[in-house]
Structure 1
């Protein structure tokens, strides 16, 4: 009999990270069942934003922090596989990518707070960031099953990546439009500052990050 060697790919780190995501989502749901249910309806209703957008500490509640952890892990995987799709390989470990995203987001958030303080638009900045954080956390939950398929499914990986990229762009575009709609009065009143804010703090950092990775 001829011996056939089998190559078994180890996904220990990926498995632990995915399990962490599911565990964090479960904790959030169990601890805040009503809020989580309202949160899942975010793309169809702004009820969640109206109710929980009145909290004193908008972006640092346990609900948002736990979902932020899910967000950076999922987006880390997403960037990892997009890099593989376009480059054929990746020179960065998934842990490095996730850490870099976390540092970039935190740096960007505190830098935005500084700029908002200079322009005297702190109220708008906090609400705007809360809306972005909420939408992106929900997007990460939607993308999580597709990330799982990318790691474990025998289906063609390129097909799943293309679908995932398309879904990512669609959901982010929708979230951006809804965010602008929810803040249209504030934006119109401070249109010049918002354009500066958008160019300097929304577009430029991602272009720089994209250039560094690719």
Structure 2
């Protein structure tokens, strides 16, 4: 009878666990800070009440409700980028997850301030504030919706192909819906100033990514 010990490598997912628990804590904090606002926030995909009510604030993007949700967004999207990249063979799971999240956060902040500069040049500051608030709202809600799927990918990768495909598909679908709702909200602006909007879209959405690609390559 072979009594030799068999060693097994156990992965306790310490970093992933800390990040996911942190996300839950941040969401809980946002809910506790303003429960009525949080309930309206969860209905953003089916109702415009949240956007109409809180989009009128002096600075709707920087407050104790949105900042925690923005952090959740960075963490969850960073984990999705890490897991999807590893599954597609673009990155290794041995790459530091915190580094990817930090890089994503820096890129978003870089893009945010670049947009502010461009918006100032084209006199779009008021529109930009509302536009960023809409994006922040929808993407924060998307991050919360994706959190259970990210946890499933981390702790139970048995059906990884199905879960990762479902997660990426859901991410893309929700972003398409969000963009559709944002464009519908600005339908009057688009009808009269389509060329102006295309110019704005190129300047605020495409240009930052092109600059980053140029800097990297």
Asked if Structure 1 and Structure 2 have the same fold, meaning a TM-score greater than 0.5 normalized by the shorter chain, the answer is: yes
1:43 aligns with 2:45: yes
Q: For 1:141, which of 128, 141, 144 is the aligned residue?
A: 144
Q: How much does 1:147 deviate? A: 0.5
Q: For 1:9, which of 8, 11, 20 is the aligned residue?
A: 11
1:19 aligns with 2:21: yes
Structure with higher Rg: it is 2
| Aligned positions of 1:133-212 closer than 5 A | 133-206=136-209
More divergent stretch after superposition (198-207 vs 98-107): 198-207
Contact 2:73 2:143 in 1 (8 A): yes
Q: Residue 59 of structure 1 aligns with which residue? A: 61
1:142 and 1:51, CA in 2 relative to 1: closer, same or farther beyond 3 A? same
1:208 and 1:113, CA in 2 relative to 1: closer, same or farther beyond 3 A? closer
Q: Residue 98 of structure 1 aligns with which residue? A: 101
Q: Residue 121 of structure 1 aligns with which residue? A: 124
1:178 and 1:211, CA in 2 relative to 1: closer, same or farther beyond 3 A? farther
Q: How much does 1:174 deviate? A: 0.4
Contact 2:82 2:100 in 1 (8 A): yes
Taking the aligned partners of 1:54 and 1:88, their CA distance within structure 2 comes to 42
Taking the aligned partners of 2:184 and 2:134, their CA distance within structure 1 comes to 11
For normalisation by structure 1, the TM-score amounts to 0.92
How many residues are treated as equivalent by the alignment?
Answer: 213
For normalisation by structure 2, the TM-score amounts to 0.91
For the residue of structure 2 that corresponds to 1:173, the secondary structure is helix
